[in-house]
């Protein structure tokens, strides 16, 4: 079992649709990050959330950290083909170097 469970594992939608992907755990994290990975490249950070209940917006992307700091969601409004990629969440603790990644949600946005 993985520490961070991401759902759905795969998501294929049409351009213009809205979507939400989830990252859940039974562990409490000091912070949670979302990364996007495109084929042939390494993951790139989208956002870091550190406070329970925190909401951050990045253009059409809205990130929320759960009140108990165990889970997070990523909502994309009016998805575009350029949003296609693997979305990874990662949780960390302030007292060590360990960042644990979920298995990711593979998003495909069709034109």
- 104 binds other proteins, rule: CB under 8 A: yes
- 24 binds other proteins, rule: CB under 8 A: no
Name which position in 14, 26, 45, 67 contacts other proteins (CB under 8 A): 45
CA dist., res. 32 & res. 5, Å (int): 13
- 98 binds other proteins, rule: CB under 8 A: yes
CA dist., res. 104 & res. 21, Å (int): 10
- 19 binds other proteins, rule: CB under 8 A: no
Q: Dihedral sign for Cα 58, 61, 62, 64, please.
A: negative
| Interacting residue ranges for other proteins, rule: CB under 8 A | 2, 29-31, 33, 35, 37, 40-45, 48, 50, 86, 88, 90, 92-101, 103-104, 106
């Amino acid at each position: 079992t993985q520490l961070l469970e991401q759902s759905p594992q795969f998501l294929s939608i049409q351009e213009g649709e809205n979507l939400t992907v989830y990252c859940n755990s039974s562990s409490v994290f000091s912070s949670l990050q979302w990364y996007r990975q495109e084929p042939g490249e390494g993951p790139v950070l989208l956002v870091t959330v550190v406070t329970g209940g925190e909401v951050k917006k990045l253009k059409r992307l809205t990130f929320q950290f759960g009140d108990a700091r165990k889970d997070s969601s990523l909502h994309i409004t009016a998805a575009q083909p350029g949003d296609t990629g693997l979305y990874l969440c990662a949780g960390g603790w302030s007292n060590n170097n360990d960042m644990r990644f979920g298995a990711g949600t593979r998003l495909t946005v069709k034109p």
